Amino acid sequence: MPLKRMMPLIVLLMLVSISLVSAQEDLPPLRELADLNDFYIGAAARADNINTPAYAETLAGEFNMLTPENEAKFCELQPQQGSFDFDELDRLVDFAAENNMVVRGHTLLWHRCNPDWLLNGAFSREEAIDIMREHIFTVMQRYQGRIAIWDVVNEAVNEDGNLRNTIWLQWIGEEYIDLAFQFAREADPDALLFYNDYDGEGRSNKANAIYELVAGMVERGIPLDGVGLQMHIELGETEAYQAVNTTNLTNNLTRLGELGLQVQITEMDVYYEGEATEEVFDRQAGDYYRVLQTCLNHEACTALAIWGVHDQVSWLRQEEHSENTDVEPLIFDGKYQPKPAYFALLDVLARAAGAAPVLSDEVATAYADGAILREIVIPEPTLSNEAQLAPDAVHGVAYYAPFPVFIELDGDLADWENVPRVSMGDTSEDANTESVTFAAAADDTNFYFMANVRDSNLVYGVYEPLNEWYKEDSVEFYLNTTDNLFATRYSTGIAQIGVLAANIENPEETIFGGYNGADVNVTAVAVETEDGYIIEAAVPLENDVWTITPANGQILGFQVHLNGATSAEDSQTTKLIWSAADADDQSWRNPSVFGRLIFWEVNSQ
């Protein structure tokens, strides 16, 4: 049975992913590890939901801090002037007290959730100040000793750095913020008073404006204890994503800390467009990991709260707040099952407390480094054609490279017969777009790679020097021969090898590019064909970058790209990427997104 030999390998890979989940039962809850770190881990909660047993259990079991999601907002508490309704907030505050949780009161003044009487009223400056004082005093004094932390003012700064044009600004002027904090301190001298906002996490304009605002308050002696960074972020390289750039976040924590302020992450969730996939959840876990780790490493940062207990009740599933109303942005799924992000937070807290880690060092490091990490589970190999020298490739995931297979670099593909092929792009007869079919193999001296490219318009010999080689027609193959297939940076043992169509005109000397590409001693030929070009390349198994000794079942990181230019000016108009983990064309700098190559010994099967 030729495929039998693969079994131990497959079982091993399955175990890696299962072990994460099966340990779950014995793991301590988040709040236990947070206590050991003297840290608050919180969730936004809704009074309507606390009668649902699973909700109550998760909320009280996992978190030592609770934020009323809406119940402490102005429109909820004072729907009519002078007439307060505390029922819902009472239920949450009682729940918190019963379960020994700290409450973050959210929020006294905001531009949203204001009752009609307030929004439509015509108040003089004095009247407005009285309304503000009365609201702050009534609410804070009722909950004195039970709500320990208050977001006194929420979202007062615009993206452009100016103060937002709210009713309070219109009626009272800029001083409304200082006054609100002064009233709050008077009302409950023991409560911690926070200014809270979004998109202020890193070093954006808005973050700088928030810093200036609170620095001014501190200088004027206004009673302010901390800044809340909401941390509503999105996967991908958006402006908000810069928040998860841990350097920016650390710098921001440092400058806020130097003002004598605490910082709390107050409303974290991680949004994305498109489908929820395992990869999305892993990347999400990485974002949670880095934010908590950065916060916990910084003495100024004292809490992290998540904006909702589980995915189904996230505010981002409400149409008015989100384009993707199926989004799953939190750490528990709709069935209260912990997601990778949950284990990520648990691992950060465990390691910081000196308790047993929850994740392997490999996974933890990948999360911390921002690797796009997936435990790649390789499905059982199949052989669709008996003559084929190795099992079928699994698209975007695994390529089985037969060895020993000797290949002559002559532009003739006859010696590649029966080596498994992979195609990218539309390879059908009548397609007029670019496509590529590739294969790989090895013997006892070389690793071989072949690409047959369909391209009606060859563009090469344009870019000199060749540091912009990828802008012309070229094929890239990548190998990670190290023990760490989750490595996020290039090192010895990892190379990107770009082979250019320009070799068509240059048979004497190979024209190549790529990270560590100069040190692997690649030899290549390229020949023009009727509908494009063929590349054949050989890389010694032993060179300055690596020593590869092919063994049956041995796994390397592996990736293939096709770069197709339309003209000298229009480069990479075609970009085909094999590894499914590399959604954003990151292989040139982050080897953790490679797929897998598995060596398959021909004679022993």
Distances in whole angstroms, Cα of residue 431 to Cα of each of 348, 426, 535, 570: 50, 6, 21, 21
Pick between residue 306 and residue 368 the one whose CB is nearest to ligand XIL. Answer: 306
CB 503 within 8 A of CB 535: yes
CB 285 within 8 A of CB 341: yes
Q: Give CA–CA dist 149/262, Å, rounded.
A: 11
Q: How far is the CB of 318 from ligand XIL (least distance, A)?
A: 6
Q: SS3 of 154, please?
A: strand
CB 271 within 8 A of CB 233: yes
Active-site entry in 32, 71, 267, 476:
267
Pairing of strands 512-513, 494-500: antiparallel
Pick between residue 72 and residue 593 the one whose CB is nearest to ligand XIL. Answer: 72
CB 341 within 8 A of CB 347: no
Pick between residue 116 and residue 408 the one whose CB is nearest to ligand XIL. Answer: 116
Q: Quick one: residue 493, left, alpha or beta (phi over 0 = left, psi -120 to 50 = alpha)?
A: left
**Residue at token pair 């197709």:** 564
Task: Tokens for 596, please give them.
Answer: 């897998």
Task: Tokens for 120, please give them.
Answer: 């439509």
What one-character-per-residue DSSP string does 63-108 give? -SEEEESSTTSHHHH-SBTTB---HHHHHHHHHHHHTT-EEEEEEE
Pick between residue 70 and residue 587 the one whose CB is nearest to ligand XIL. Answer: 70
Q: How far is the CB of 298 from ligand XIL (least distance, A)?
A: 22
Pick between residue 67 and residue 510 the one whose CB is nearest to ligand XIL. Answer: 67
Which position's Cβ is nearest ligand XIL?
Answer: 315
Task: Tokens for 541, please give them.
Answer: 């198994």
CB 58 within 8 A of CB 332: yes
CB 63 within 8 A of CB 43: yes
CB 501 within 8 A of CB 474: yes
**Residue at token pair 């200088």:** 219
Footprint of ligand XIL on this chain (CB under 6 A)?
69-70, 154, 230, 267, 315, 318
Which of 74, 64, 94 has its CA nearest to residue 151? 74
User: Which residues have a Cβ under 8 Å from the Cβ of 211 and sit 6 or more positions away?
Assistant: 252, 255, 256
Q: How far is the CB of 190 from ligand XIL (least distance, A)?
A: 23
Pairing of strands 532-540, 595-601: unpaired
Q: How far is the CB of 280 from ligand XIL (least distance, A)?
A: 22
To the nearest 10 degrees (0 to 180), the angle between helices 53-62 and 87-98 is: 60
Task: Tokens for 550, please give them.
Answer: 């092919």
408 included as an active-site residue: no
Q: Give CA–CA dist 540/546, Å, rounded.
A: 9
Q: Give CA–CA dist 603/550, Å, rounded.
A: 13
Active-site entry in 155, 201, 234, 375:
155
In 206-261, DSSP assigns E strands to: 226-229, 232-234
Pick between residue 315 and residue 460 the one whose CB is nearest to ligand XIL. Answer: 315
Residue 368, number of CB atoms within 10 A of its CB: 18
CB 539 within 8 A of CB 520: yes
Q: How far is the CB of 195 from ligand XIL (least distance, A)?
A: 12
Q: How far is the CB of 248 from ligand XIL (least distance, A)?
A: 21
Pick between residue 108 and residue 499 the one whose CB is nearest to ligand XIL. Answer: 108
Q: Give CA–CA dist 133/140, Å, rounded.
A: 11
Q: Give CA–CA dist 373/358, Å, rounded.
A: 16
Q: How far is the CB of 159 from ligand XIL (least distance, A)?
A: 14
Q: How far is the CB of 510 from ligand XIL (least distance, A)?
A: 56
Pick between residue 136 and residue 501 the one whose CB is nearest to ligand XIL. Answer: 136
Which of 389, 376, 386, 346 has its CA nearest to residue 552? 389
Q: Quick one: residue 244, left, alpha or beta (phi over 0 = left, psi -120 to 50 = alpha)?
A: alpha
155 included as an active-site residue: yes
Pick between residue 108 and residue 389 the one whose CB is nearest to ligand XIL. Answer: 108
Q: How far is the CB of 54 from ligand XIL (least distance, A)?
A: 20
Pick between residue 318 and residue 549 the one whose CB is nearest to ligand XIL. Answer: 318
Query: What b-and-e string marks burial along 249-284, b requiring 16 or more CB atoms within 10 Å of the CB?
Result: bbebbebbbebebbbbbbbbbbbbeeebeebbbbbb
Pick between residue 196 and residue 294 the one whose CB is nearest to ligand XIL. Answer: 196
Report, as residue numbers or ranges, the catalytic residues.
155, 267
